[in-house]
Amino acid sequence: MSIRPAIAAAQYLRVSTERQEYSLDHQSQTIRSYADDHGFSVVQTYSDPAVSGVLLRRRKGLQKLIQDVVQRNAIYKVILVYDVSRWGRFQDCDESAYYEFLCKSAGVRVHYCAETFSNDECVPNMIMKSLKRVMAGEYSRELGIKVFAGQRRGATLGFRQGAEPGYGLRRFLVSAENVPKQQLGHGERKSLASDRVILVPGPSEEVRRVRQIYRMFLEKQMNYSDISRELRRLRVPYIDGSDWSMRAVQTILTHPKYMGVNVYGRYSQRLYTPPQPKPRSEWILTPGAFEPVVDPKLFTKVQETIMHLNSTRPRSKSDEDLLNALRAVRARHGKITEYLIARTPGMASANSYRARFGSLSRAYQLIGYSGYWDDTWRETNKRIQRMRNELMNRIVELDPTRISIEKREGGYRNRLRLHDGRLVSVLVSRPVKLDKKFYWLLAPREEYRLPALVARLNFAFDAFKDMFVIPPLGRRALFYMKESDERLHRQGQRLTDLGEFFRVTCQV
């Protein structure tokens, strides 16, 4: 009598909370019992501890599992998962089905060990599995509603709901009875669920700087840009040693928390979707929740000044007023550039012209100015766009099973999507001449959160000089790189051959 050898299997474990019924040990015990009953032997384990099942990009364990299976590197024939919800609580149940389909197409089937149905092609079982997927996603949606309700109630009581405190403020831990405990440092969290967090004024030096910013705005009549530029000149450090920006100054001058008001609900973000701003009428405001950094009367006066300035800004000016301002810049300097527009007092920003006329080039055309925006520039721009598209196509052609192009609407740039769900932006960097030296311009725009393939153009704008794969750039609208830029060599990896793209991308 012969004994059939056990079939090699991998187990996938995931837990997003400390709930005992879903602990990693409990899942593993159930899976091993299932394996013993069905002739499987667990030879490999993938896990995602304390990770939500809503998004794939946060789940390194599942990404690695799918990668091994699709690339035929798996040493097992089946995948064992505790139940459908551990595979994922994806908001689109088709996404959950897609990742399972990838495994099945590679000859590796998924078994849900704690479910009452068998994962086969039987119609009742397929209906039950689809229903379970919908229920798993719905659980996350319902939980989000309950959490929001709890945070909303806490905010009305004056307690801070997540997020960093901001410059000039610090988080302070209090008990449920509002008894002070201790100040929380960066990254520290409360240890007791019943404890609460409030805001308090930060170090005296930061508080002094915040009040100085209010004086610079009111007494010296400096705008956001002027203030941020002056703070950089004085080498005043911002949060984590970063540079001051217009947005940082604007936040200090407009956020009610600086006059002791606890604010919640300025943005809406459900289940890791992009945050959406909410109208001020829907904010939850709790006055007097903590000690103010600036006097409420001073804060109110600043808001009135900002409202008055906004009423005189470009949106209240006619098209002809804006075009006349461009003509004045050209008459004074003999040319028009974004730099000159930004440096001209009282003039609308370049973005205001884009919003009003569709583009800067259109505004230039209306006043009869060609500058850099003539037909030659347009043809060059179109050629660069074609080169970028060809580069992305060449990468996809290397292995269409591992990478594809994610096409986007609304003027957003297309991106590369790897088979494990990760996104990579492709940025073409063109040379520009500044102060008699050449630099390479990099404008990540909305893609600053993604790793990027940076392709630098040569001086003729007809070929790529070199390519680098770099980690996410952070919140930078644009910056310039030198001929041999240390940031690229220190943070990224240069590609000597396009075939290295997959290997290098996995390391960034």
Question: pLDDT tens digit string along 133-176?
Answer: 999 888 888 888 888 888 888 888 888 887 788 999 999 998 87
Maximum average pLDDT range among 182-191, 267-276, 326-335, 354-363: 326-335
Could you say which of 260, 280, 309 is where a domain stops? Answer: 309
Residues 395 and 360 reside in one and the same domain = no
Q: Which residue has the higher pLDDT, 395 or 350?
A: 395
Give the integer Cα–Cα distance in Å for 46 and 12. 5
Residues 265 and 285 reside in one and the same domain = yes
Could you say which of 259, 275, 309 is where a domain stops? Answer: 309
pLDDT at 446: 63
pLDDT in tens, 345-375: 778 878 788 878 877 878 888 888 876 555 5
pLDDT at 479: 65
Q: Is residue 136 part of a domain?
A: yes
3-state secondary structure of 375: helix
Residues 356 and 440 reside in one and the same domain = no
Q: Is residue 157 part of a domain?
A: no
Q: What is the mean pLDDT of residues 422-426?
A: 88
pLDDT at 208: 95
Residues 121 and 240 reside in one and the same domain = no
Would you say 303 and 294 are in contact if contact means Cβ atoms under 8 Å apart?
Answer: no
Residues 456 and 389 reside in one and the same domain = yes
Q: Is residue 149 part of a domain?
A: no
pLDDT in tens, 230-249: 898 888 989 888 888 888 99
Q: Is residue 161 part of a domain?
A: no
* 447, pLDDT greater than 70: no
Give the integer Cα–Cα distance in Å for 370 and 422. 41
Residues 132 and 206 reside in one and the same domain = no
Containing 357, the helix (H) or strand (E) segment is helix 350-357
Rounded to whole angstroms, what are the CA distances from 50 to 47, 145, 146, 195, 292?
10, 20, 20, 21, 37
Mean per-residue pLDDT of the chain = 84
Q: Which residue has the higher pLDDT, 157 or 270?
A: 157
* pLDDT band, very low/low/confident/very high, at 476 (cuts 50, 70, 90): low
* pLDDT band, very low/low/confident/very high, at 378 (cuts 50, 70, 90): low
Shortest CA distance to 357 belongs to which of 408, 319, 315? 319
Structural domain range at position 22: 7-141
DSSP secondary structure string for all residues of 80-119: EES-HHHH---SSHHHHHHHHHHHHHTT-EEEETTSSS--
pLDDT at 102: 92
Q: Which two tokens stand for residue 330?
A: 């050209």
Q: Is residue 2 part of a domain?
A: no
Q: Is residue 163 part of a domain?
A: no
Q: Which residue has the higher pLDDT, 494 or 314?
A: 494
Least confident piece of the model among 71-80, 195-204, 322-331, 403-412: 403-412
Q: What is the mean pLDDT of residues 64-81?
A: 93
Angle (nearest 5°) at CA 383 between 382 and 388: 95
Output the pTM of the full model.
Answer: 0.55
* 490, pLDDT greater than 90: no
Q: What is the mean pLDDT of residues 212-221?
A: 92
pLDDT at 39: 92
Percentage with pLDDT > 90 across the chain = 27
Give the domain CATH number at 70.
3.40.50.1390
Q: Which residue has the higher pLDDT, 151 or 83?
A: 83
Q: How many structural domains is the chain composed of?
A: 4
Could you say which of 141, 161, 184 is where a domain stops? Answer: 141
Would you say 495 and 467 are in contact if contact means Cβ atoms under 8 Å apart?
Answer: yes
Residues 304 and 360 reside in one and the same domain = no
Q: What are phi and psi of 362, to 5 degrees?
A: -65, -40
Residues 299 and 356 reside in one and the same domain = no
Give the integer Cα–Cα distance in Å for 398 and 498. 9
Residues 199 and 267 reside in one and the same domain = yes
Residues 345 and 398 reside in one and the same domain = no
In the chain, DSSP finds a helix count (H) and a strand count (E) of 16, 19
Residues 178 and 113 reside in one and the same domain = no
Q: Which amino acid is at 77?
A: K
Q: Is residue 271 part of a domain?
A: yes
Q: What are phi and psi of 107, to 5 degrees?
A: 85, 15
Q: What is the mean pLDDT of residues 464-491?
A: 71
* 376, pLDDT greater than 70: no
Shortest CA distance to 411 belongs to which of 338, 359, 357, 467? 359
Q: Is residue 114 part of a domain?
A: yes
Residues 278 and 360 reside in one and the same domain = no
pLDDT in tens, 23-39: 888 999 999 999 999 99
